Structure 1
């Protein structure tokens, strides 16, 4: 099971659409393995696999790929058909225009268009959405629309697509860290419409994927795209996979990860900086998600989780977790992770003898860890 997590606000968006179409949220959450009590907890997160299952269940129950968020349903299979029409375009700009034209055929669906940016310092274009959004849910609908665009476009051209500017309709106060993580920076708030400003050179990038690649992508879409909105970053994702695999007992230090990637620590640092992330940020996110997953398992004590994740003492883990989640592990478990049904009990293998002090990797370049 992946340790990647999704903010509970995205769960609320999916349930809002389900409820407005008359579905009972309770059974949907239980079927996806999400505790209903999490809905009332600010900052809670759920496993990405559970979120993907929820999306698939709501899509099937409503017979609507837009999950009840639009005024009219969009039949399952529409997203796949859009991808099949766009993938044969010669470049990204043509593919985006075709995707926008395709969805314009469906009443009630979000409208999207590509327009020239005349005031930009370099030639660029704006990919913008026009969609009715309830104010409370707007930030997360924007995250899904722009995030899926970035992930799908990056996949199509075979490299990470970096917008020169992200525009969001909601105010800065309503934003969450996921917007910066998924969409990048800079971000401007309270704009007329959610949009991505893309460089002309990126729009001219050729589509490098074919039908065979598309079949693999569509196997879990669009639920899989929603659950994994993290952009496909080359080196950053490889670092995360290494840390994910070795999280038990403490994540390996930066210099060891660099060696596994056949590069020097300085080269690794340079690659990560170019991708807008640091080794410490990736490592903290891996540890946070692993901690959230372990806290949901009532068979683990906080001290055992701390040891399992490689912290030298429980207090170091508690300080780190409070920095990540804004609360202590015990309070997080009490508020967000209800006890399992009677008779259920599971434990993961015990921790290895490897330590991490104060939530920081013990060795490796300090510059990489910041």
Structure 2
């Protein structure tokens, strides 16, 4: 579990939890107390936190709310595809619900859930089975409620209608609040005291096409999801700290400045990074590439992104971006908005 706790997560999940907590009258500083997460981190578009930090945030919220049943559902209603970053775009451009579900489970590290989920085809039914044994017992109910509401909310965003859910199976006892949320989420059959948590739907509904389906875009976003997961899994040592500092500096910081921030000599920093199979140049280029993608995806012009990232000219930025992604920044932005096929 120790290795899992240091795995990287998008800061967006924590930011939404803090937003929810603020709506319940909780103080942000108290929710972040003991987590090592600063309030400024919550607004970083490419910010990351460790799973252990996110679990601490959840623990603080549950403790402040006295683990009141139903509170997790309210938190889950804030979760929408755009908040998932590149994974959200992969879901939106998927050909149908089944593909979107499979992508969501494959790249769960990029989502809001901290539990493991598996898909089981059982004839006319499909079961999404949850395993949250790796989560602290005191936050399991809140986390489960949040995930169920998030799944329902994201599904409605994808299809603009609610698909029928056959039933939901949960391990805890019945409570009147679940009847209300069952109606909100379109679930009539909730089975309490089950050995496992599961959401069950008819197999046929997963074949429904999505209105924003785009094969080329979906393929591009899936590739980006895979690359991002791989980068995060490999950035848990000194390289992770370097990348975080580069992100905070907007990607523009020299090696000596980063070494000072880490209380290391430049020579030691180089050696430590080499031991992790990377280099400062590689991390710097990687960070600049991620920042460029985020800024272009947010709607900034190529000229604005080049200027913000400190390039001497648009042509220099365009050349660098093409070496990262294999296409021009302008075409990347058009593909991300669904206005052009990949490679146009």
Q: Does the alignment reach a TM-score above 0.5?
A: no
Query: Which one has the bigger helix percentage?
Result: 2
TM-score normalised per structure 2: 0.40
TM-score normalised per structure 1: 0.38
